[in-house]
Amino acid sequence: MREMVKVSAPGKLMLFGEHAVIYHRPCIVTAVDQRMIVEIKPAREEKLLLDAPGVGIKGYSKKIKDLACGEVPKGVRFIETGIRNFFQKYKVKQGIEVKTKAGFSSEVGFGSSAAVTVGVAAGLAQLFKIRLSRKQLFDLTYKTVLDVQGVGSGFDLAASIWGGTLYFVTGGKKVIPLKINQLPLIVGYTGIKADTPTMVKKVANLRKNNKKLVDSIFDQMSFLTNKAKVTLSKGNFKKTGGLMNLNQGLLDALGVNTKELADLIFATRKAGAWGAKLSGAGGGDCMIALVPGKMRRKAEKAIERAGGKALKIKPNAEGVRAE
């Protein structure tokens, strides 16, 4: 066993197929250069000792045998459950000290829960010298997400593990890295924290009352995602932008857009973007736009004028790695 390990895992942005991916349709997701850093070292007592300042956790302590039992603070659930699942699967038991440091706020919607879940599992594998393939790491972390929240497609875990830009189908049935050298993407943040479970529930209720109609929307999203897989791979960003605009229309139909997101989307289109849409569950968080290089600064200024914040983000980032 090593004395200390340090790993980092990237956050993500959804490019195509949000909500539809929950219902077994494909999506396209890109890893971003904002990273979650996880440090793990052995502890003398059979306890988890945790500092996670990004979610307000300092000096947290719990016996290893009690992990994921009883009352678990929100910011600790994925870490506790992930450690328990790793220990059970690989028949190890050891007190450990974990420190996390986020390169991005959990408020922004870059998938901090997925990034920390992946970082902890990859760190434990290094600590105990257990070789895991990407698929094994995905399966282990996907189980953790399902244990914690009951549902989830796993696209954010895949982005943290594989990195780059991925074509993904629910539960990791397909994980296909797209060969993309660059992605001229800009990101605008509304300043409003999205409540993802509420938005997912909203779409589920809409589907319950209009199943054929909503499923047809998901099918159209699937069609757009498959088209975008081709246009992105060819580096045709103008066509991909047009597909983004169509995807946004379908998200509007699902009722997950907001005025704040729409303001930023229309501002970037007016400033010369090839296409723009919300990214993620909707209800807040971020929007994205594909923009020609010479229009980038103009589009970023348009986001600021429309009341948003242009974030300095690089997409297509490297997956989980040792630091």
pLDDT at 71: 85
Residues 154, 215 within the same domain: no
Structure tokens at 210: 């209009």
Does the pLDDT of residue 184 top 80, yes or no?
yes
Distance in angstroms (rounded) separating the CA atoms of residues 201 and 217 = 17
Residues 73, 217 within the same domain: no
Q: Which one of 33, 66, 139, 156 is the catalytic residue?
A: 156
DSSP state of 121: H
Strand, coil or helix: 225: helix
Q: Rounded to the nearest 10 degrees, what angle do helices 112-127 and 155-162 cross at? A: 50
Residues 40, 171 within the same domain: yes
Residues 139, 244 within the same domain: no
Residues 165, 265 within the same domain: no
Residues 239, 161 within the same domain: no
Say whether 156 is catalytic. Answer: yes
Q: 321: part of which helix (H) or strand (E)?
A: strand 321-322
Please, which pLDDT band fits residue 116 given cuts at 50, 70 and 90? very high
pLDDT at 106: 63
Residues 197, 78 within the same domain: no
pLDDT at 255: 97
Residues 173, 192 within the same domain: no
Residues 239, 103 within the same domain: no
pLDDT at 23: 95
Does the pLDDT of residue 73 top 90, yes or no?
no
Specify whether the CB–CB gap between 257 and 204 falls below 8 A: no
Q: Which CATH number covers residue 119? A: 3.30.230.10
Q: Which residue has the tokens 């994980």?
A: 175
Residues 145, 264 within the same domain: no
Distance in angstroms (rounded) separating the CA atoms of residues 208 and 203 = 9
Does the pLDDT of residue 169 top 90, yes or no?
yes
Residues 20, 144 within the same domain: yes
pTM of the model: 0.94
Specify the number of domains making up the chain. 2
Q: Which CATH number covers residue 254? A: 3.30.70.890
Comparing 111 with 154, the larger pLDDT belongs to 154
Does the pLDDT of residue 102 top 90, yes or no?
no
Residues 141, 275 within the same domain: no
SS (H, E, C) 94-107: CCEEEEEEECCCCC
Domain of residue 47, residue span = 5-180+318-322
